């Protein structure tokens, strides 16, 4: 059971339009590492405009739907119109558009003329809009100290908005009414209650689900106005050891969304990696992410994508695109209400954040801010195919020699990024050397030795500590009083 | 050897040397270890502007040339805390920061901490600037480093009282709200306090001796007031860089404190410095 929520304010931010990046030489998109790779993950769409927040929560619940229950702390009592059902395809769409990508380039044959390749873009029709259902439910809960502020039926969900006076009553009420909350939930229910949060609690209405004709549960979307801009991850943490992944797709008018109480760092990008990664790209990105996450001390939020995606913006949308860019209707479905053709100067900025969190490293809920930062970013990995054809001309021979070393560097990069033991792929480098005549082959440097680096620790803070301690010692040495020097005598 | 030690002592006579060294170390840490976007051109722009504007005023006002060190500290402070979209925003921040020292003065002291005012004005006037409170992470190690190194600086300057009063009051207020009232575990409270940005502010920004009250008691009361305002801003208005805003709001009160509580005016270069002239360089 995952629980998510909302919000915060930035002091007077004004949009600054991105100037766009220089048109880079585009490659073909060949694979992507989308969010479905990660088990135990959740996905959230966050739209933030001033103090208005729209949160769409994906639902990948796998068990029997009648067991499904969700409790989300929200800062205000939501009205019926503030709750909608979104289409699950929206998540797939945003995910595939912003996922870390693998691109391919092709070397030209130095002995022959060159070819250029360009990126692919396509349009797809907008997704169908959601349906709604409505029904009122009434219950008595006063004896628990719990007030039912509102009851709604939206689509296949029965929804209650609760407020409570203290956590024991709320916990008991939830348990008695079939909401399976984690044993440690009381730790956070009290702080939430005292912070004046309400509880958005959801169960599946089986009749409505059957009537809807949908087999799976659809995403729920809520909207409200409040200065808080945060996601309450604590309620979803069942124990101290388990880690879970969350991918956040955030949209703002001004620029990137960043976390304010944890570091927001970029995943490594624009790395040249060996061709054989193509068949293993999913595993490659998973391992790369895990390694980066450990290296950053297991408590950073990772930026995977940041781009101006304004529908009528003239700049380059992606380099290359791994999926068709979102359309107006999809922005509207996600809760972006300022885009559209008529909107003057209204920019839509897309930030994708990936956070792997656990109780020990993430004691506090995630808090965010909207920044004016419009710098583009994407997680992108590059494959370069060797030139084809006859390479017997002298440029061709030099090319092969360079290729040999380049492949060595690609292997090194792969080992650094993922921690893989790449010695099993040695032939990838050797096959190039074998194409050279014996005298040149023998002159090559040894095929890059270990192909393996020790796993990284923290972000190298110990080295910094050592440096600073040294500096302090030197300073202390100089600061000691000089024994024989009389004042004014120097 | 003796010459070395004398040179070293000379170096330590001016507290600004320490501040420059430590802040530069933190900048290297951010770029080298934490992987900040090392846009060296941007840092060069901030330093160039700050030093250039300072040089202009050194000329104009006939100030001691050693006051370039103050501009250096301001430039470092801006580089460590301020983020901006466009380069002009950085120029604006650095220019207003340094110029404010010469135009907004009262009773022989400048009113605002230059770096602090530069950040706030850049954010307010352009909307293109922001502070990333999360950029330091919250490693306990860093807490120790910034804390210890920072203490060293302020101990030299003799104004550790400001850091202790501010941090103590802020921690106490946060504890009362987060742990005692809301009921979060102490780890949530510690996580809040171990923010690198908060500690940097505590040890390097609020402690600027030129913009804090001269009298010790007044200084402590003033620091606690900054803590209280920062606490209220972060709680009631969800402002994340609250200490920075609180300091700007309360800096104008310093002359008032100085009026009622007389204390010894701070001098950057210690009066017992062997080979240096005994005047204070307040800029």
CA distance B149 to chain A (A): 8
Report, as an integer, the average pLDDT of A10-17.
22
A295: number of Cβ within 10 Å: 18
What local confidence, expressed as pLDDT, does residue B19 receive? Answer: 79
Residues B78 and B146 in one domain: no
Average pLDDT, chain A: 76
What local confidence, expressed as pLDDT, does residue A83 receive? Answer: 93
Report, as an integer, the average pLDDT of B201-207.
85
Residues from chain B that touch A9, judged by Cβ atoms under 8 A, are 237-239
CB contact under 8 A, A12 and B149: no
- A438-472 per-position pLDDT tens digit: 888 887 776 554 444 444 444 456 666 677 777 66
What local confidence, expressed as pLDDT, does residue A238 receive? Answer: 56
- A257-309 per-position pLDDT tens digit: 999 999 999 999 999 999 999 889 989 999 999 999 988 888 899 999 999 88
What local confidence, expressed as pLDDT, does residue B28 receive? Answer: 83
Q: Which residue of B has its CA nearest to A10?
A: B239
Peptide bond connecting A320 to the previous residue in cis, omega within 30 degrees of 0: yes
Element (H, E) at B103: helix B87-103
Residue B53 maps to a domain: yes
Name, in order, each residue with C-beta under 8 angstroms of A60's C-beta and a sequence gap of 6 or more: A41, A42, A43
CA distance B138 to chain A (A): 7
Tell which wins on pLDDT, B174 or A125: B174
Q: How far is CA A37 from the centre of its chain?
A: 13
What local confidence, expressed as pLDDT, does residue A125 receive? Answer: 28
Per-residue pLDDT band at A132 (split at 50, 70, 90): very low
Per-residue pLDDT band at B274 (split at 50, 70, 90): very low
Q: Which residue has the tokens 């009160």?
A: B253
Name, in order, each residue with C-beta under 8 angstroms of A335's C-beta and a sequence gap of 6 or more: A45, A47, A54, A56, A221, A223, A251
Per-residue pLDDT band at A247 (split at 50, 70, 90): very high
CB contact under 8 A, A461 and B187: no
Residue ending a domain, among B109, B131, B153, is B131
Residue B180 maps to a domain: yes
Tell which wins on pLDDT, B267 or B27: B27
Between residues 415 and 474 of chain A, which touch chain B (CB distance below 8 Å)?
458-465, 467-468, 471-472, 474
Name, in order, each residue with C-beta under 8 angstroms of A463's C-beta and a sequence gap of 6 or more: B33
Predicted complex ipTM: 0.84
Distance CA B236, CA A264 (A): 25
A126, pLDDT greater than 80: no
What local confidence, expressed as pLDDT, does residue A444 receive? Answer: 79
- A203-223 per-position pLDDT tens digit: 888 888 888 777 778 889 999
Can you give the residue range of the structural domain that contains B27? Answer: 15-131
Question: In chain B, pLDDT over 90 holds for what percent of residues?
Answer: 17
Residues B250 and B165 in one domain: yes
Per-residue pLDDT band at A115 (split at 50, 70, 90): very low
A267: number of Cβ within 10 Å: 22
- Cβ-in-10-Å burial (0-12, 13-18, 19+) of A345 comes to exposed
Question: In chain A, pLDDT over 90 holds for what percent of residues?
Answer: 20
Residues B159 and B46 in one domain: no
φ, ψ of residue B126 to 5 degrees: the values are -105, -25
Average pLDDT, chain B: 81
Distance CA A339, CA A310 (A): 7
Tell which wins on pLDDT, A191 or A471: A191
Q: Which residue has the tokens 């920044």?
A: A371
Is residue A318 within 8 A of residue A308, CB to CB? The reply is no
Residue B38 maps to a domain: yes
For chain B, say whether A372 makes contact (Cβ under 8 Å). yes
Residues B140 and B256 in one domain: yes
Of the given ranges (A239-253, A402-416, A476-490), which has the lowest mean pLDDT? A476-490
| Biggest alpha carbon–alpha carbon distance for chain A | 97
User: β-strand A300-308 against A349-358: which pairing, if any?
Assistant: antiparallel
Q: Which residue of B has its CA nearest to A19?
A: B86
Collect contacts of A437-441 with beta carbons under 8 A, ≥24 apart: A437/A397, A440/A397, A440/A401
A171, pLDDT greater than 90: no
Residue B7 maps to a domain: no
CB contact under 8 A, B183 and A479: no
- A379-423 per-position pLDDT tens digit: 999 999 998 888 888 888 889 989 999 998 899 899 989 988 888
Residues B64 and B145 in one domain: no
**Among A253, A11, A375, which Cα is nearest to B123's?**
A11
φ, ψ of residue B185 to 5 degrees: the values are -70, 165
What local confidence, expressed as pLDDT, does residue A24 receive? Answer: 25
Measure CB to CB from residue A374 to each of B85, B187, B190 and give the nearest one: B85
Q: Which residue has the tokens 């801009």?
A: A229
A41, pLDDT greater than 80: no
Distance CA A473, CA B190 (A): 29
Report, as an integer, the average pLDDT of B189-197.
85
- A311-325 per-position pLDDT tens digit: 766 666 666 666 677
Report, as an integer, the average pLDDT of A210-237.
85
B206: number of Cβ within 10 Å: 29
- Two tokens, residue B183: 């009921």
Q: Which residue has the tokens 């300057």?
A: B157
Tell which wins on pLDDT, A185 or A455: A185
Residue B189 maps to a domain: yes
Per-residue pLDDT band at A476 (split at 50, 70, 90): low
- DSSP of A37-104: GSSSEEEEEEEEETTEEEEEE-----S-GGG-EEEEEESSPPPGGGEEE--HHHHHHHHHHHS-EEEE
Of the given ranges (A112-126, A163-177, A419-433, B150-164), which has the lowest mean pLDDT? A112-126
Report, as an integer, the average pLDDT of A183-196.
83
Residue B2 maps to a domain: no
- Cβ-in-10-Å burial (0-12, 13-18, 19+) of A450 comes to exposed
- Count of pairs with CB atoms under 8 A, one residue in A, one in B: 156
- A411-441 per-position pLDDT tens digit: 989 998 998 888 888 889 888 888 888 888 8
**Among A319, A219, A313, A301, which Cα is nearest to A256's?**
A301
CA distance A124 to chain B (A): 34
DSSP state of A488: T
Residues B112 and B144 in one domain: no
A50, pLDDT greater than 60: yes
Is residue B98 within 8 A of residue B48, CB to CB? The reply is no
Residues counted in chain A? 490
Per-residue pLDDT band at B169 (split at 50, 70, 90): very high
What local confidence, expressed as pLDDT, does residue B34 receive? Answer: 78
CA distance A193 to chain B (A): 8
Distance CA B70, CA B67 (A): 5
What local confidence, expressed as pLDDT, does residue A276 receive? Answer: 92
Residue B153 maps to a domain: yes
A98, pLDDT greater than 50: yes
What local confidence, expressed as pLDDT, does residue A370 receive? Answer: 93
Report, as an integer, the average pLDDT of A112-128.
36
Per-residue pLDDT band at A487 (split at 50, 70, 90): very low
Q: How far is CA A56 from CA A91, A161, A209, B14, B19, in A?
A: 9, 17, 19, 56, 47
CB contact under 8 A, A300 and B137: yes
- DSSP of A203-239: EE-HHHHHHHT-SSPPPEEEEEE-S-BEE--GGG--S
Distance CA A199, CA A191 (A): 13
What local confidence, expressed as pLDDT, does residue B1 receive? Answer: 60
Is residue A385 within 8 A of residue A105, CB to CB? The reply is yes
Report, as an integer, the average pLDDT of B183-205.
86
Residues B234 and B193 in one domain: yes
Per-residue pLDDT band at B168 (split at 50, 70, 90): very high
B242, pLDDT greater than 70: yes
Residues B227 and B148 in one domain: yes
Is residue B201 within 8 A of residue B243, CB to CB? The reply is yes
A276: number of Cβ within 10 Å: 16
* 3-class secondary-structure state, position B253: helix
Residue B1 maps to a domain: no
Paired with A244 in beta bridges are A357
Q: How far is CA B213 from the centre of its chain?
A: 15
CB contact under 8 A, A459 and B34: yes
What local confidence, expressed as pLDDT, does residue A10 receive? Answer: 22
A353, pLDDT greater than 60: yes
Domains held by chain B: number: 2
Residue ending a domain, among B91, B116, B131, is B131
What local confidence, expressed as pLDDT, does residue B158 receive? Answer: 60
A207: number of Cβ within 10 Å: 12
Between the ranges A130-139, A176-185, A204-213, A334-343, where is the mean pLDDT highest? A204-213
Tell which wins on pLDDT, B74 or B265: B74
Residues B72 and B140 in one domain: no
Residues from chain A that touch B138, judged by Cβ atoms under 8 A, are 261-262, 299
Helix orientation angle between B140-157 and A461-479, rounded to the nearest 10 degrees: 20
**Torsion over CA: A206, A211, A217, A220 (sign):** negative
What local confidence, expressed as pLDDT, does residue A286 receive? Answer: 92
Distance CA B148, CA B22 (A): 11
Residues B51 and B147 in one domain: no
φ, ψ of residue B69 to 5 degrees: the values are -65, -35
Measure CB to CB from residue A468 to each of B128, B135, B149 and give the nearest one: B149
CB contact under 8 A, A260 and B191: no
Residue ending a domain, among B131, B148, B169, is B131
CA distance B261 to chain A (A): 32
Between residues 239 and 258 of chain A, which touch chain B (CB distance below 8 Å)?
255, 258
Residues B150 and B252 in one domain: yes
Give the burial string for A66-101 (b: 16+ CB within 10 Å, else e).
Answer: eebbbbbbbbbebeeebbbbbbbbbbbbbbbbbbbb
- B129-156 per-position pLDDT tens digit: 888 888 887 665 565 566 666 666 656 6
CB contact under 8 A, B192 and A190: no
- Cβ-in-10-Å burial (0-12, 13-18, 19+) of A470 comes to exposed
Residues B39 and B105 in one domain: yes
Distance CA A320, CA A120 (A): 7
Half-sphere exposure of B31 toward its Cβ, with a 13 Å CA cutoff? Answer: 13
Distance CA A288, CA A420 (A): 10
Paired with A57 in beta bridges are A44, A220
What local confidence, expressed as pLDDT, does residue A455 receive? Answer: 42
Element (H, E) at B60: helix B40-61
Distance CA A389, CA B230 (A): 68
Residues from chain A that touch B83, judged by Cβ atoms under 8 A, are 371, 373
A490, pLDDT greater than 60: no
- Two tokens, residue A211: 């009537």
């Amino acid at each position: 059971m995952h629980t998510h929520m909302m919000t915060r304010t930035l002091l007077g931010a004004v949009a600054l339009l991105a100037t766009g990046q220089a048109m880079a030489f585009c490659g073909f998109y060949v694979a992507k590492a989308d969010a479905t790779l990660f088990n135990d993950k959740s996905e959230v769409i966050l739209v933030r405009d001033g103090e208005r927040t729209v949160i769409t929560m994906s639902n990948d619940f796998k068990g029997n739907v009648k067991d499904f229950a969700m409790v989300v702390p929200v800062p205000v009592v939501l009205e019926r119109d503030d709750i909608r059902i979104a289409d699950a395809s929206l998540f797939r769409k945003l995910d595939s558009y912003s996922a870390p990508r693998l691109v391919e380039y092709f070397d030209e044959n130095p002995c022959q003329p060159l070819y250029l390749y360009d990126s692919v873009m396509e349009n797809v029709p907008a997704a169908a809009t959601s349906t709604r259902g409505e029904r009122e439910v009434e219950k008595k809960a006063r004896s628990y100290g719990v007030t039912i502020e509102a009851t709604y039926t939206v689509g296949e969900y029965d929804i209650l908005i609760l407020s409570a006076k203290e956590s024991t009553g709320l916990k008991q009420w939830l348990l008695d009414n079939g909401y399976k909350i984690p044993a440690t939930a009381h730790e956070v229910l009290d702080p939430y209650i005292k912070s004046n949060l309400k509880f958005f609690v959801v169960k599946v209405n089986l009749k409505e689900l059957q009537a809807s004709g949908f087999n799976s549960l659809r995403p729920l979307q809520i909207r409200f106005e409040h200065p808080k801009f945060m996601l309450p991850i604590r309620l979803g943490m069942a124990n101290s050891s388990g880690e879970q992944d969350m991918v956040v797709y955030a949209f703002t008018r001004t620029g990137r969304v960043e976390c304010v109480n944890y570091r927001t760092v970029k995943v490594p990008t624009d790395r040249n990696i060996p061709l054989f990664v193509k068949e293993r790209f999913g595993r490659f990105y998973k391992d790369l992410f895990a390694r980066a996450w450990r290296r950053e001390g297991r408590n950073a939020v990772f930026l995977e994508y940041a781009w101006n995606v304004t529908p009528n913006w003239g700049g380059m949308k992606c380099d290359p695109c791994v999926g068709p860019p979102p359309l107006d209707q999809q922005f509207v479905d996600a809760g972006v209400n300022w885009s559209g053709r008529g909107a003057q100067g209204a920019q839509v900025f897309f930030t994708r954040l990936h956070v792997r969190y656990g109780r020990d490293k993430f004691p506090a809920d995630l808090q965010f801010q909207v920044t004016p930062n419009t710098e583009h970013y994407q997680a992108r990995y590059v494959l370069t195919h060797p030139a084809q054809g006859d390479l017997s001309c002298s440029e061709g021979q030099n090319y092969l020699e360079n290729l040999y070393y380049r492949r060595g560097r690609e292997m090194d990069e792969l080992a650094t990024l993922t921690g893989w033991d790449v010695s099993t792929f040695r032939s990838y480098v050797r096959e190039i050397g074998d194409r050279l005549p014996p005298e040149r082959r023998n002159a090559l440097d040894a095929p890059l030795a270990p192909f393996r680096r020790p796993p990284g620790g923290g972000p190298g803070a110990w080295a910094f500590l050592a440096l600073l301690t040294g500096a302090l010692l030197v300073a202390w040495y100089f600061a000691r009083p000089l024994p024989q020097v009389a004042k004014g005598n120097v | 050897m003796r010459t070395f030690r004398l040179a070293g002592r000379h170096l330590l006579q001016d507290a600004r040397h320490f501040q420059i060294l430590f802040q530069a170390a933190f900048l290297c840490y951010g770029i080298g270890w934490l992987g900040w976007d090392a846009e060296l051109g941007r840092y060069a722009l901030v330093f160039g502007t700050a030093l250039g504007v300072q040089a202009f005023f050194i000329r104009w006002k006939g100030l001691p040339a050693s006051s370039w060190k103050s501009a250096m500290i301001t430039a470092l402070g801006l580089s460590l805390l301020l983020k901006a979209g466009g380069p002009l925003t950085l120029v604006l921040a650095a220019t207003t920061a340094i110029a404010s020292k010469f135009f907004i003065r009262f009773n022989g002291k400048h009113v605002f901490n230059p770096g602090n005012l530069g950040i706030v004005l850049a954010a307010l006037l352009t909307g293109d600037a922001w502070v990333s409170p999360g950029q330091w992470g919250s490693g306990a190690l860093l807490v120790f480093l910034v804390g210890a190194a920072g203490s060293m600086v302020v101990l030299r300057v003799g104004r550790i009282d400001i850091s202790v009063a501010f941090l103590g009051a802020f921690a106490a207020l946060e504890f009362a709200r987060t742990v005692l009232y809301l009921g979060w575990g102490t780890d949530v409270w510690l996580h809040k306090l171990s923010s690198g940005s908060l500690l940097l502010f505590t040890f390097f920004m609020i402690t600027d001796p030129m913009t804090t009250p001269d009298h010790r008691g007044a200084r402590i009361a003033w620091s606690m007031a900054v803590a209280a305002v920062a606490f209220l801003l972060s709680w009631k208005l969800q402002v994340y860089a609250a200490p920075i805003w609180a300091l700007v709001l309360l800096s104008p009160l310093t002359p008032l404190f100085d009026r009622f509580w007389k204390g010894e005016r701070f001098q950057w270069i210690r009066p017992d410095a062997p080979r240096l002239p005994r005047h204070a360089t307040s800029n």
